[in-house]
Amino acid sequence: MEIILKEISRQVNELTKEFYERILPPVDIYEQGNTLLVLVDLPGFDKKDISVRLTSEGVLRIEARRDVEQAGIKHVTQRPSRLSREFKLPVKVPKDAEVEGKYENGVLTLKIPIEGAAKVKIE
């Protein structure tokens, strides 16, 4: 019976980890003037292990990988070792857009210019 429970627990842990790898990272997208602000939670990843790609069709792809170290006897392992998220941006981006990216405190912040949007200064 104990062996069966351990196997069930192992399978649940693997399914939970796979679930997190498929739904994460959480993303917030805001429009601020002529910029699209994208916030991505990537806690525990190193900046060098994060990859961001923006296609000419406006598809944003974010990937992150890390080595999850095993210290001692493994009981539960749910922290994802890789994350991948791809989605179409809700606005058009200029083809020659310069995207600003910053990774701080586990949050990736991207500032993406919006095509055809201009900030109007009112005097």
Does the pLDDT at position 119 exceed 70? no
d(CA 61, CA 22): 13
Q: Which domains does the chain have, with CATH numbers?
A: 2-113 (2.60.40.790)
Max intra-chain CA distance, the chain: 77
pLDDT in tens, 85-111: 898 999 999 888 889 999 999 999 999
pLDDT in tens, 18-71: 777 677 788 999 999 889 999 999 988 999 999 999 998 899 999 999 887 777
pTM of the model: 0.76
